[in-house]
Structure 1
Amino acid sequence: MLAYLGSGPTPPPRMNLRFLLLLALAAATPAFAEGQCERRQPQAAEARALPSGGLQFDGRLDEGAWRTTPALTSFYEYFPGECSAPTEDTEARFLYDERYLYIGFTAHLHDREQLRTPFVRRDKVGSSHDYIQAYIDPSGTGRSSYIFRVNARGTRTDGITDETRQTESMDPDYEWEARTAIGPDGWTAELRIPLATLRVPRGGAQTWRVIVTRGVPRGQNTQMATAPFPHDASCFLCLASPLHFDALPGRSETVFVTPSLLGVHAQGGATHLRPSLDAKWLVAPGSVIDLTLHPDFAQVESDTPVLTANQRFSINLPEKRPFFREGAELLTGSMPLIYTRTIVEPSAGLRITHRDEHLNATAFLARDTGRGVIVAPSFLSSEDVYPDFDSMVGFARVVKAFGNAQAGALASIKRNADGSRNVVASIDGAWNSPTDRVIAQAALSDTRNPRRPDLLPEWRGQSLQGHAALIEWDHSGPWVSELRATSYAPGFRAWLGDVPRVGFRSVHALLQRPWYVANAWINSVTPYVGLDELHGVDHVGRERDPLLGLNLAGPRNFSADLKHHPSTTVLNLLGQERAFSYNEWSASFNPAPWMPLVKVAGLSGEQVDFDIGDVMPAHQSDLLLRAHPLDRFELELHRTQYRLAGGRRLDERIDECIASWYFGAAVYLVADMQRHQSQRPPQPGAVTTNLSVQLTAELSSRSQLYAGVRDGRVERAYGRKEAREAYIKYSRTLAW
């Protein structure tokens, strides 16, 4: 099944794991007749023009316009069943006027008391909630779609899918609104989406594609859709319903300007006002120009802390800044040549994006005064270098569709104020069939290093050239397989990407066999085997990691994954091979409506201590709890601990507590406390503590207010550093 459908693995009663597995394997017979999905076709949908008088946007769907609009009612259960009759009835209707697309959902319930209605933050609506979502493809090509999801409380989650890579990204935050109403027989939702948000390519009669899905988490995490998805589906939008418009109006609003004002009071008494401006111009159907001047990201939530003490290579953190998140899916490729967090503080930025039935393209140019990190890669490790010069950065990406195939190109450049630069150019292609997908990419880089041996000894102004290549084949069916070969030359660099390791050739292989079962104990059993092997180009030695794994899914969002690495070989920082074995495991489930997630994970066995280069006993444990003790109160607790030699060589711990109080779906207060401790005996350790409290108020779809405080401190044996600030930010979007 496609990864982004999220079958939402779910929990079994307490039972011996071996007995549970044997029971599941014994019962692992198809729950539905072979070919049942192939015999079903998605129902066509029709969007009607909104009559004069409009709608009262309240989520109730009680106007005559909704009652007289044809409903999309043919839904199929795709998890845990397969193209079976839905457990609940659902209706979806579509209206439009000169500015908006309206979607009305009616979610019937047999037992209203079982409705799960938690308050959560935007983009946090998940499989533990009652929710409905629409995947909308305005181009009708089946290559990507917008995602609009809402739970029964009216909390929104949005994103975009990529059909070629069969992934979805919740990075973008689009402009749209949602209202919901809960009644005695279920709940209703009303979505109002500006046509400008959907980048509608043209006016007049046209046909889009749409898929509506619904989640009903009870004992089983039941998922239903208007598309008849088989469990081994290798495509998503190919099963979408056509959505017909008789006469969609042309564009109305084409210019959007968002001024913002940030006030900051820092520790020590300094107070600053920082104005910023974002502008968007829909210059032509499907084409958008975005401009940002002195953007600030004060409202962006803190990064989740990660383990850092025994790492050879730089760590990748997710992009959370709004300006960089929109359109990010166009830059996501098999090779990570663009990583926007390398752009730290653009004083000005310009982005152009175009989408139509056959061509998607984006280009970006900015001046970065944040002096962001440059990753200096090598075969055995990488080093983060923090320069003291500004940069001009730019990248461009274009993708052209040809039936079931596509071809693309990417280019990036970072030119520093001292004359050093890095240029990367790549081409890529992809081909899809109902059961297979092939992706290939090749890249070249040309680099002139800074003449700054004081920052990095190898930076002596020399020039480097290098190449990189990747080819990947994925197969779906009763057996699911992945095969990927990758190569990075020693001289390859991508200063705007995330390439911490070069000078190697690697192969990755994975084979898995899912069995889907619909019973009270388990939903699926998936054993798998894998192998990763890596060889140096200019270095003797190799790394190798064979694994045996088993994945189980069951009721109550239960998921368990067990991995055994019987003979892993890793190179230490001197290039010496070190062999060891270890096990990894994880399990998560939803024990009760008020506790939607309990997740535990761990590692036990041996690992390489890269500080001394030898194999040590290792243990890692992770615990994540998410609970709603009160209707408007959400609590999340996270703890991670990693130890080498029982803590005698390394003891690293991370604790995080996030508490949220919801005044409503669009107004909430979030407090986040993080504590990161790391010690390598006999040296003294370090403790980093961060606390942030932020009030978010979405006053309307075009007006937001943020206010908060941040406090951070680092404590070491030789001293302590701390910083504190309070801030308030207001932004409002104006449209013409």
Structure 2
Amino acid sequence: MRQRTTSLGLALSLSCSLIWAADLRALSVAPQDVVPQIDGRLDEAVWQRAPVYDQFVQFQPEDKKPAAWRTTVQVLLTQDALVIGIRAYDPAPELIRAPLKRRDTVARDQDFVSVVLDPVGQRRSAQFARVSAAGVIGDGMFTAEDDVEDFAPDFEIEAAAQRLPDGYSVELRWPFAALRYPYSAGLPWRMMVVRNIPRQEASTLNVSAPLTKDALSFIAELQVLGGLDELQQQVRDRSFFSVRPELTARRREDSQAGQPDSRQREFNIGGELKWRPRADWVIDAVINPDFSQVELDTPQLAGNTRFALSLQEKRPFFLESTDVVGQTKADDEGQNQSLAAFYSRAITDPDWGLRATWRGTTADATALSLRDAGGGQVLRAHAFSTDSYVQPAQSLASFARGRMQWAGLNLGLLLSDRNYGGGQFNRVLGSDLSWSASDSDLLRGHLLVSSTKTSMDAEDGVAAAEQGHRVWLGWRHRSEDWSSQLNYEDVGPRFANDNGFVSQAGYRRASLSLHRRLATKSLAPLGEWSRFPTYELEWTLKLAQAQTLRDASQDVPGGELIERRVQPGFWIATARNTGIWGHLGLDQLRAKSGGNLHSPRTLTLGFESNPHDILSFVTAELEWGRRLDVEADRLGTGANLWLLAKLRIPVPWGLGLELEQQWSEGYVSAPQGGRSFTDSYRQTLLVLHLNARNSIRLISQDTYFQRREEASLAAMQASTARRSLMYQYRQGLSRIFSLGLNRADAGPGGLSHGTELFAKAQMAW
């Protein structure tokens, strides 16, 4: 039996090597050829001559298996763009899921194809574009170090899809102006095509590259895109320039109890400029931008936490070159990614901004500077809490970062400066590294030092300059059997970064996350027992310990235990793209310096799934048990529940209707019975797509927090209600018109109200 298994494995390995020996190739479109019209049909004569690639393999739910359904890829090279044609064959085309959706909401519940493109050729980062069977686009950046897809960046791409009797086809036009690549000595461009096939019994993800789940990142095996030998010489000196003016008209009314009403009318003229003088340089500028059409931030439960919470960036100007900037992003557990050097949400209301980005084969760099009108938050973090101050009226925010790469070793240098005027400032200087020690191991780290001198750090006047540091080291290992991550942090009490995000300082923390993967063949009995196939099972263990560093100004001694976490758990992947996870919380936590060391005991269970073509996605997580009430500094029975459901409701006349519902509630009980506090939010998002370009969006969200009065605790109640209704016409990124109405009420009792009516037009040339 062992000999037969070995022979089969050898045969599979040989067949795979033969499959991937041929890379994707592009065909140059001759001057006499008709350039394809982007309509999704693939019916122009030039498509008949373009090389066809169809050697796809399955990546999910099980990797290393040949793809069951055929997918073909063809690439054309025109004078100013790559044009990619993809044919997705389907034996049951009536089951294709192709709803009208918003841009960047193309997810695993829909049939889509995705093009992942790395024109630098180093497989450090890649631009990607998803196109659904309905022609909806989702695009962004993928960074290998974080192994994360970021849908925030948008590119000037054009795509269309066409439904066919035996599947669907897609045409994607990717202009060279929207690609970022070196001027000279560049490596071959790399690409991978992905196809997602959602079905009731299983959701399948097929890829054109030899990618396996033990790879360090999703872009570890991008294929060389051949046929581009003369491309670099042809287009590297070509200059691209675009200007995007915008006009916003706004009428606002505000009322507050005991204050006279306020009415304002405002006309705002602003715009963005993008200039690519040659292949490796991109210059961006923004003047007086207005972000009134950006979606409301999703609320977060903040009533039982000691620290500030980060928010996702949605403003277009900040999303260019995010891979070079190393912008702070939240990971799957809500923690901040490692390089907390730049956090664009720290820039509240920019009057103007300028940024330059350069990319070479073995190096890249970016620098930006913005004048911020202020009004937001400035954070000053401590070991047990985060203080928040109002930003000064005006400041100049500047940031620069450069990286060099040598055979798997990346070294970076960064500088951050926030100048408030009057001798007040915050400056950060640092260096970061990333080293791919092997195909399975990645080592990362950084050292940041800060110098801060502001009035926010003193009770009267301007404090003397204070210095701080932040050290982080991280190791990630991924193999067929194990996925592990080890981190060490040391953050000085006076470390501050007003262009970044620092929610906690004055601590030293070590953490370890272990995931033990079981072999697929050992999971067969589980599938028979549960009625559903079990594709993956992981046993998990998370360990962490944090202690204070001495901070005399906060009366915090050194070596005091902040937290010790022990969390054994599991994760299961099964049919319908379903994931089920859970863990025990056998932790020790301290709410304040000198306080008791508590031992909460909790059980966390969660799941996510694409259960139906109507209920396209649902996820929920429940934490229950003995939880810590931070403000009361005690344990109590409590729970924290979060639920997100996405529905696609069938609508006649070719319309599309999206409905998303989020709800979260947390509480901890008091010793004498009843709830000590309740913290909750809910958000409803409803989008009616009149067609591919016109939509009406409604957002309704409410937050509520109430704390009961006790002997040592004052009663507290706070609530907000926000409503947003907007009509939008959108033709790619070049023409956007928005008309909206926003309403905000704050309580309790509706103490303040604000109503805003706005119209905004954006054009691009």
- Normalising by structure 1, report the TM-score: 0.92
What is the aligned partner in structure 1 of residue 330 from structure 2? none
User: Distance between the aligned counterparts of 2:540 and 2:583, measured in 1?
Assistant: 9
User: Corresponding residue for 2:381?
Assistant: 377
Higher relative contact order (CA 8 A, sep 6+): 1
- In the alignment, is the contact (CA less than 8 A) between 1:235 and 1:434 conserved in 2? no
- Code of the aligned partner of 2:62: G
Secondary structure of 1:302's counterpart equals coil
Q: Which residue of 2 aligns with 1:604?
A: 624
Is contact 1:91-1:107 (8 Å) kept? yes
Sort the Cα spacing of 1:567 and 1:378 in 2 relative to 1 into closer, same or farther, 3 A: closer
Aligned pair in 2 of structure 1 residues 283, 576: CA closer, same or farther (>3 Å)? farther
Between the aligned partners of 1:537 and 1:686, the Cα distance in structure 2 is 34
Asked if 1:594 is matched to 2:578, the reply is no
Could you tell me whether the CA contact under 8 Å between 1:37 and 1:82 is conserved in 2? no
Report what 2:445 is aligned to. Answer: 440
Q: 2:344 aligns with which of 340, 344, 347?
A: 340
- In the alignment, is the contact (CA less than 8 A) between 2:700 and 2:724 conserved in 1? yes
Q: Are the counterparts in 2 of residues 541 and 575 from structure 1 also a CA contact under 8 Å? A: no
8 Å CA contact 2:239, 2:277 repeated in 1: no
Cα separation, partners in 2 of 1:210 and 1:578, compared to 1, 3 Å:
same
Q: Is the 8 A contact 1:142 1:237 kept in 2?
A: yes
Match of 2:544 in 1: 532
User: Equivalences for 1:71-150 in 2 at 5 Å?
Assistant: 71-150=52-131
What SS does structure 2 have at the residue aligned with 1:141? coil
Counterpart secondary structure, 1:40: helix
User: Is the contact between residue 313 and residue 381 of structure 1 (CA under 8 Å) also seen in structure 2?
Assistant: yes
How many Å separate the matches in 2 of 1:664 and 1:89?
30
Name the aligned partner's letter for residue 549 of structure 1.
G
Post-superposition shift, 1:570? Answer: 2.8
Alignment deviations for residues 17-62 of structure 1 (CA, whole Å, 9 cap, x no partner) = xxxxxxxxxxxx99x8489468624331111122332222211001
Matches within 5 A, 1:327-476: 327-330=321-324, 331-332=326-327, 334-432=338-436, 433-450=438-455, 453=458, 457=459, 460-476=462-478
Measured after TM superposition, the shift of residue 127 of structure 1 is 0.6
CA pair 369-512 structure 1, distance change in 2 beyond 3 A: same
Q: Secondary structure at the match of 1:523?
A: strand
Rounded Cα–Cα distance in structure 1 between residues aligned with 2:542 and 2:729 = 47
Question: 2:752 matched to which residue of 1?
Answer: 721
Q: CA deviation at 1:422?
A: 0.7
CA distance in 1, matches of 2:754, 2:611: 40
Q: Select 1:662's aligned residue among 680, 684, 689.
A: 689
Instruction: Indicate the larger mover: 430-439 or 692-701.
Output: 692-701
Deviations 1:442-497 (Å, cap 9, x if unpaired)? 111111122675xxx48751221111111111111112211111101112111111
**In the TM superposition, what whole-angstrom CA distance separates every residue of 1:84-138 from its partner, at most 9, and x where no partner exists?**
1112100111112222211111000011111111221111101111010011111
Distance 1:458 1:360, change over 3 A: farther
- The AA in structure 1 aligned to 2:694 is V
Give the Cα–Cα distance (whole angstroms) in 1 for the partners of residues 306 and 204 of structure 2.
Answer: 42
Aligned to 1:227: 209
Q: After superposing the two structures, state which structure 1 stretch, 221-230 or 610-619, moved more.
A: 610-619
How far, CA to CA, are the matches of 2:11 and 2:702 in structure 1? Answer: 53
Task: Give the deviation of 1:660 after TM superposition.
Answer: 0.8
Following the alignment from structure 1 to structure 2, what is the Cα–Cα distance between the partners of residues 84 and 680? 55
Cα distance in 2, alignment partners of residues 329 and 341 from structure 1: 16
State the Cα deviation string for residues 411-441 of structure 1 (Å, max 9, x = none): 1010113321111011111111211111121
| Residue 147 of structure 1, CA deviation | 0.4
Query: Matched residues in 2 for 1:208 and 1:424: separation?
Result: 35
The residue aligned with 2:333 is none
CA positional deviation for 1:271: 2.6
- Report the secondary structure of 2:47's partner residue: helix
Q: What is the alpha-carbon distance in structure 2 between the residues aligned to residue 369 and residue 187 of structure 1?
A: 49
Unaligned segments of structure 2, at least 5 residues: 254-261, 328-336, 551-556, 710-714
Q: Using structure 2 for the length normalisation, give the TM-score.
A: 0.88
Rounded to whole Å, the distance in 2 between the matches of 1:426 and 1:229 is: 35
Please name the residue that 1:503 is paired with.
506
Give the corresponding residue for 1:10: none
Q: In structure 2, what is the Cα distance between the partners aligned to 1:516 and 1:368?
A: 53
Structure 1 residues 270 and 316: alpha-carbon distance in aligned structure 2, compared to 1, 3 A threshold: same
The verdict on how the C-alpha distance between 1:471 and 1:205 changes in structure 2, with shifts beyond 3 A counting, is: closer
CA distance in 2, matches of 1:574, 1:341: 34
Counterparts of 2:221 and 2:248, CA distance in 1:
46
State the 1:193 CA deviation: 1.3
1:703 and 2:735 are equivalent in the alignment: yes
Q: Deviations along 1:222-262, whole A, 9 cap, x unmatched?
A: 11001122221224444222112143231545211111111
User: Could you tell me which of 10, 20, 29 is aligned with 1:50?
Assistant: 29
How many residues are aligned here? 701
AA aligned to 1:114 is: L
Task: Measure the CA separation in 1 of the matches of 2:625 and 2:113.
Answer: 43
Out of 661, 674, 678, the residue aligned to residue 637 of structure 1 is 661
Q: What residue in structure 2 maps to residue 266 of structure 1? A: 252
Q: What stretches of structure 1 move > 6 A for 4+ residues in a row?
A: 203-206
The answer to whether the 8 Å contact 1:389/1:417 transfers is: no
Same amino acid, percent of matched pairs = 26
Is this contact kept in 2: 1:549–1:562, CA < 8 A?
A: yes
What is the aligned counterpart of 1:247 among 224, 227, 230? Answer: 230
User: Per-residue deviation at 1:308?
Assistant: 1.2
Q: 1:40 aligns with which of 2, 7, 16?
A: 16
Residues 260 and 531 (structure 1), Cα distance of their counterparts in 2 relative to 1, 3 Å cut: same
Greater Cα shift, 334-343 or 570-579: 570-579
Per-residue CA distance 1:372-401 (angstroms, 9 max, x = gap): 311011111111100343111100111111
Unaligned runs of 5+ in 1: 1-28
- The answer (yes or no) to whether the contact 1:600–1:621 under 8 Å persists in 2 is yes
CA gap of 1:506–1:183, structure 2 versus 1, over 3 A, is same
Within 2, Cα distance between the matches of 1:58 and 1:293? 35
Cα RMSD after superposing both structures: 2.1
Cα distance change on mapping 1:395 and 1:203 into 2, 3 Å: closer
